[in-house]
Amino acid sequence: MSMQTEFLIWNEEATDQFAQYIQAGEVVAFPTETVYGLGADATNPEAVEKIFSAKGRPADNPLIVHVVSTEQIARYVTEISPDAKKLIEAFMPGPLTVVLPSNGKISTQVTAGLDTIGVRIPDHPAAQELIRKAGLPVAAPSANLSGKPSPTSAIHVFQDLNGKIKAILDGGSTGVGLESTVVDCTGDQPEIIRPGGVTQLEIEEVLGYPIEITSVAIAEHEPKSPGMKYTHYQPDVPLVLIDGDKDFFQAKIDHYRANGQKVGVLASEELATTLSADQIHMCGTIENIATIANQLYQSLRAFKQTEVDLILAEVFPTDGLGQAIMNRLYKAADRIETEENDR
């Protein structure tokens, strides 16, 4: 059922209004430091169902719960392990989610029926004010249609969800540009199950020992975190990853254009300036990988079916934030073409 979606600029009055919407069981979009979230009262099953309905999201894909304090986290879990405490103290507020044993107070729609829950404290004043004023834990996946690139501006949310949700709070562009890192703290030792805004190295430095990252392959059963089971982040046109030097990349562009296809390119400034294609979007610089993370989703959304037939994207280094960037691109891509396989 379609509704009129309100679009408000973030200020105190708007935050008060949005808090009332959450208390009333409505679904609203708001900015965080990672991407825009689609929030509802995490203790209200009917409200949470509206999130899944608006996004077209599968019901077995769990949601992350957003709170404003460690004390609030403790209300919804059976325990916080010593390692989880270290991570919370080091990285929250911030782009980190920890998976902990749930005590059942959060709706089972949020946890997808699991006995675990992912929680985080966002590092954005609009998100913090909204959650604090609502006085409730807020379940909030990214505020986009399921499977599409996540929104890093209020306009992205409007493009995807206008008429499907109560209201959008415009707090400008997000900072990190990628979703939070998710660390499962329910096993013998923590494990990264989704790379994101906090890197593996940063986590290991806090814990004092190396930890594993769950394979970027799509999980088949009972995902503990968003982004583990289903394809995600897909733009409007097919995406092909190109793993090779600039000459190989240009040869691929020329090949597809010779077959009558309009080719878009998603690449760093370093590579993009050496290429010729129908449309080129530069998404930051290899010299500062954070700029690529920040601009990735915006760049993916910039390609339209009416303008290009496919996107050829650069394969970025996988150290630091590059790990999270490539996690998203692998899930968005139809295939990868490598120089080695073309020999």
pLDDT confidence of residue 224:
53
3-state secondary structure the chain: CCCCCEEEECCHHHHHHHHHHHHCCCCEEECCCCCCEEEEECCCHHHHHHHHHHHCCCCCCCCEEECCCHHHHHCCECCCCHHHHHHHHHHCCCCEEEEEEECCCCCHHHHCCCCEEEEECCCCHHHHHHHHHHCCCEECCECCCCCCCCCCCHHHHHHHHCCCCCEEEECCCCCCCCCCEEEECCCCCCEEEECCCCCHHHHHHHHCCCCCECCCCCCCCCCCCCCCCCCCCCCCCCEEEEECCHHHHHHHHHHHHHCCCCEEEEECHHHHCCCCCCEEEECCECCEHHHHHHHHHHHHHHCCCCCCCEEEEECCCCCCCHHHHHHHHHHHCCEEEEHHHHC
pLDDT of 251 above 80: yes
pLDDT confidence of residue 343:
60
pLDDT of 26 above 90: yes
For 256-279, the pLDDT digits (tens) are 999 999 999 999 999 999 999 999
Taking the alpha carbons of 298, 304, 307, 312 in that order, is the dihedral positive or negative?
A: positive
Q: What is the mean pLDDT of residues 150-166?
A: 97
Q: At which residue do the structure tokens 């139809």 appear?
A: 334
Same fold, 6-207 and 239-342: no
The residue ranges of every structural domain in the chain are: 6-207, 239-342
Residue 162 burial (CB count, 10 A): 14
Q: Span 6-207: which CATH code?
A: 3.90.870.10
pLDDT of 227 above 70: no
CATH class, 239-342 region: alpha beta
In single-letter form, the type of residue at position 186 comes to: T
pLDDT of 221 above 60: no
Q: What is the mean pLDDT of residues 123-149?
A: 97
For residues 24 and 12, give the distance between their C-alpha atoms in angstroms, rounded to a whole number.
Answer: 19
Q: What is the mean pLDDT of residues 209-234?
A: 61
Percent of the chain surpassing pLDDT 70: 94
Q: What is the mean pLDDT of residues 64-79?
A: 98
Residue 245 burial (CB count, 10 A): 12
Beta bridge partners of 267: 282
Q: 260: alpha, beta or left, given left = phi > 0 and alpha = psi -120 to 50?
A: left
pLDDT of 218 above 60: no
Between β-strands 181-184 and 191-194, what pairing exists: parallel, antiparallel or unpaired?
antiparallel
